[in-house]
Amino acid sequence: MQEQTNRVAIVTGASRGIGAAIAERLAADGLTVVINYAGDVASAEKLARSIEQKGGRALTARADVSDPEAVARLFDAAEAAFGGVDVLVNNAGILQVAALADTSDAEFDRHFAINTRGTFNTLREAARRMRKGGRIVNFSSTTLALNLPGYAVYNATKAAVEAMTHVFAKELRGRDITVNAVAPGPVATDLFLSGKSDELVAQFARMPPLERLGQPDDIANVVAFLVGSGAGWINGQVLRANGGLA
Ligand code: NAP
């Protein structure tokens, strides 16, 4: 499908996991993709080469989303290479499961810096620069609906993302830009799997009525829909993609 040729998408945190699947899918749909990453340059470059081998257009751009200047440079790089930005997918995020009482000040700050401020930084840049007709997809989490112990700080960062999603959609009135969020359930990536026993992973996999973990492509499909031509009337919404878990 080449209908979206010439649209330029920045995908944050696209070196691995869900972000990599999104970059691959959007490139296959004909978008030019900017693969943002924080540290894993090898994975980001490998993904870019693989997209190019399939006939797509991709650029890698290192930027810590929690750093506003780095985020401005990320948009600069996209504009310099491709002339503008039409799609922003705010996928970069971290999760450290820990009881609130055991969470250090540094971990609290790190979660808010990347998950919340990172999203704020790119949204503010998008407000200044995104082209008419643009699409923004933020990342929340179904954990917000589950209220499981250990997720207080992570959920707080994602609740803030949902709050910004609803308000920002209205602030962009007149620009023909939609702002939505996806809230995945458990997806088989490093973020979810690391630190969990096989037994705990299996327990999570049994929770949705569809009785499996999500795969990165399940979420990439949802993002592709939200940035595609069929979703133009969806705005300011949070879409829980979780196999019916909550
Ligand atoms: P992941 O496999 O751990 O990948 C995280 C990605 O984010 C990597 O590409 C990483 O880049 C990047 N990243 C981390 N810190 C960054 C920073 N400061 N600046 C820029 N990029 C940064 O995670 P994932 O599971 O794909 O999660 C993606 C999103 O989905 C997150 O927002 C997460 O909260 C959300 N989510 C995930 C699940 C799940 O079960 N997996 C469920 C609900 C929501 P490097 O490789 O360079 O470090």
* Angle, helices 118-129/68-82, rounded to nearest 10 degrees: 40
What atom in ligand 1 is closest to the CA of residue 115?
32
CA geometry: angle 169, 175, 178, nearest 5 deg: 40
pTM for this model (two decimals): 0.98
Residue 140 is predicted with a pLDDT of 99
Average model confidence (pLDDT) for the chain?
97
Average pLDDT over residues 20-37: 98
Cα of 94 from ligand 1 centre, angstroms: 5
Of the candidates 159, 189, 18, which has an alpha carbon nearest to the alpha carbon of residue 89? 18
What is the DSSP track for 9-22? EEETT-SSHHHHHH
From atom 23 of ligand 1, which residue's Cα is the shortest distance away?
A: 191
Atom of ligand 1 nearest to the CA of 216: 26
Nearest atom in ligand 1 to the alpha carbon of residue 92 is 7
Query: By the 8 A CB rule, do 123 and 137 touch?
Result: no
User: At residue 47, does pLDDT exceed 50?
Assistant: yes
Distance 139 CA to ligand 1 centre (A): 10
Half-sphere CA count of 38, side-chain side, radius 13 A: 13
Atom of ligand 1 nearest to the CA of 191: 3
Question: Under a CB-based contact definition with an 8 Å cutoff, are residues 29 and 1 in contact?
Answer: yes
Catalytic residue among 82, 154, 168, 204: 154
Answer whether 91 contacts ligand 1 (Cβ < 6 A).
yes
Taking 70 as the threshold, does the pLDDT of residue 1 lie above it?
no
Does residue 81 have a pLDDT over 80? yes
Ligand 1 pocket residue status of 65, Cβ below 6 Å:
yes
Backbone angles phi, psi at 137, to 5 degrees: -125, 115
Average pLDDT over residues 201-215: 98
Span 36-58, average pLDDT: 98
Q: Of all residues in the chain, what percent carry a pLDDT higher than 90?
A: 98
Domains and CATH numbers, the chain: 4-241 (3.40.50.720)
Express each pLDDT in 93-126 by its tens digit: 999 999 999 999 999 999 999 999 999 999 999 9
> What pLDDT does 4 receive?
63
Going by pLDDT thresholds of 50, 70 and 90, the confidence category of residue 11 is very high
Q: Is the CB of 90 under 6 A from ligand 1?
A: no
How much distance in Å is there from the Cα of 64 to the middle of ligand 1? Answer: 12
User: What residue owns the CA closest to ligand 1's atom 16?
Assistant: 38
Is there a contact between 26 and 47 (Cβ–Cβ < 8 Å)?
A: no
- Taking CA atoms only, the protein residue closest to ligand 1 atom 18 is 64
CA–CA separation, 62 vs 228, rounded Å? 26
Mean pLDDT (whole number) for 203-212: 98
Q: 151 an active-site residue?
A: no
- Closest-CA residue to 130 (of 69, 67, 176): 176
Among 189, 190, 194, 242, say which to mutate for ligand 1: greatest number of ligand atoms within 8 Å of CB: 189
pLDDT for 5 equals 66
Of 165, 167, 140, residue with least CA distance to 154: 140
Residues in the chain, overall count: 246
Q: Strands 178-184 and 135-139, how do they pair?
A: parallel
pLDDT per residue as tens digits for the range 227-244? 999 999 999 999 999 999
Q: Is 188 helix (H, G, I), strand (E, B) or coil?
A: coil
- 174 CA distance to ligand 1 centroid (A)? 31
pLDDT at 128: 97
AA identity, residue 166: H
Taking the C-alpha atoms of residue 119 and residue 162, their distance in angstroms, rounded to an integer, is 10
- 169-197 average pLDDT score: 98
